[in-house]
A = this chain, B = another copy of it.
Amino acid sequence: MDTPTFVQRPRPLPDGFLAALQAQFGERCSLAQSVREHHGRDESPYPPMPPEAVVFARTIEDVAWVARYCHDHRVPLIPYGAGSSLEGHLLAVQGGISLDLSGMDQILDVHAEDFTATVQAGVTRKQLNEALRDTGLFFPIDPGADASLGGMSATRASGTNAVRYGTMRENVMSLKVVTADGRIIETANRARKSSAGYDLTRLFVGSEGTLGIIVEVTVRLYPQPEAVSAAICNFPDLDSAVRSVIEVIQLGVPVARVEFMDAAAVRATNQYSHLSLRETPLLLFEFHGSPASVREQATLVQEVTHGNGGMDFEWAEQPEDRNRLWTARHNAYFAGLQLRPGCRASTTDVCVPISRLAECVGQTAAELDQASFPYTIVGHVGDGNFHVLMLLDPDSPAEWAESEALNHRLVECAIAMQGTCTGEHGVGLHKQAFMRTEHGQDALDVMAALKAALDPHDILNPGKVLPRPPAP
């Protein structure tokens, strides 16, 4: 498997295309280099590829107008939310327009009695939870960044709560979507279940802006748990921590969160977030439920961790202690970056069946110990998902090649274990090389047929998700 390189090859714009766009949107259409460069990158290791213009949408009608205009003129159109993608999703590999939806940030409806909220695509997860504060409800999906709900839907994101509450796949109830040619559809209603036709909601969740532009999102909410407790458990080594997680999951304990950090990740987090965690591999647990249920869960989990050589639980009793801990965990990515000033990071994202997790993490750590660059490992291990943050010298093609080779071996190992190349970050550019191995050519052809049916001129985020077909 070769590491593909991605080169920007803008499609030529029709004469007068940008002038008409500016006439339509005035100041909300920017050609400024700084704005374009900002919209031509994300948190991936790739150098930026700026679009030719950025349009700041305020309404669904704005989005529909831009879609129709780009569709009519065969111009690429890349939806942009918070810019926090990790795999090159936002790079304008074929030029075109970046459509910034961050200004569509209204919370439209909270149906507390039905546990649903409907928001515009630019609303971020923190903004939504802020708005829910007095309802007794919360929205659990929490990727590291304060991503937009539109972007989280488009990448099928998850985070630390997925082991209990699921991912965006399970928690998006309905979407409003603008199609490639500017039609506006709703993918479902607010009923908890329905058998009325094809599941358009799940078709657009995870489509990374390539099948339609998500403009509104209706999500499921959950009651704030009556009792919450969180604890840290240190382990003598990585394997004993991972084995504890496997046992906890196999016992069916409904933990709300179980996060792994290796010693390097803990060290980075201590420095970045001014904490004093013991610098060994550790697990962060959180338990949700009634007071009795939380006690029961904690007791069971403590038995399991002790049996695997885990040290005593350190409890984070107060809400502010828990918040500090989880904020630190969410900042593990940025903390890691500080371990090697000036580095760029490449992140792995495999997810395997839980029974294979120890083997997969163990093999990976053994290989990483031979690597010429520093790394950290963190993971949503209750789902079988973990990330290696590889801290690379941006001026060293050798380190980049080494990291790519390592990621390739890790992904092939995960796929051989019936796992996936990406648990939650999406494909973007970086994971395309694995799509054929993971899905097989026939399944990829089915995906390509769906893409051609919904975006016949290939204007929606072109060059992403699906690899180019193999040479004949």
List A residues at the B interface (Cβ < 8 Å): 111, 113-114, 116, 155-158, 162, 166-167, 169-170, 179, 183-200, 202-203, 205-207, 211, 222-223, 246, 250-252, 289-290, 292-293, 296, 349, 351-355, 383-385, 414-415, 418-427, 431, 434-435, 438-440, 442-447, 449-454, 465-466
Taking a contact as CB atoms under 8 Å apart, the answer to whether B353 and A190 are in contact is yes
Which of A193, A250, A292, A293 gathers the greatest number of chain B CB atoms within 10 Å? A193
**Chain B neighbourhood of A384, CB < 8 A:** 191-192
Taking a contact as CB atoms under 8 Å apart, the answer to whether B202 and A203 are in contact is yes
Which of A196, A296, A355 gathers the greatest number of chain B CB atoms within 10 Å? A196
Kindly list 12 other residue pairs between chains A and B, CB separation below 8 angstroms, not including A189-B418, A192-B353, A198-B203: A156-B194, A156-B199, A169-B199, A191-B385, A191-B420, A195-B425, A195-B427, A196-B421, A198-B447, A202-B203, A223-B251, A449-B454
Taking a contact as CB atoms under 8 Å apart, the answer to whether B423 and A195 are in contact is yes
Copies of this chain, tallied across the complex: 2
Taking a contact as CB atoms under 8 Å apart, the answer to whether A352 and B198 are in contact is no
Q: How many angstroms from the CA of A296 to the CA of B227 in the assembled complex?
A: 14
26 A-B residue pairings within 8 Å (CB atoms)? A116-B353, A179-B446, A183-B442, A185-B440, A186-B439, A187-B443, A188-B420, A189-B420, A191-B353, A192-B385, A193-B385, A195-B426, A196-B420, A196-B421, A197-B465, A198-B203, A199-B199, A200-B443, A200-B447, A202-B203, A203-B450, A292-B292, A292-B293, A449-B453, A450-B450, A450-B454
Known: A114-B355, A199-B203, A290-B293. A191 touches B418 (CB 8 A): yes
**Chain B neighbourhood of A296, CB < 8 A:** 290, 292-293
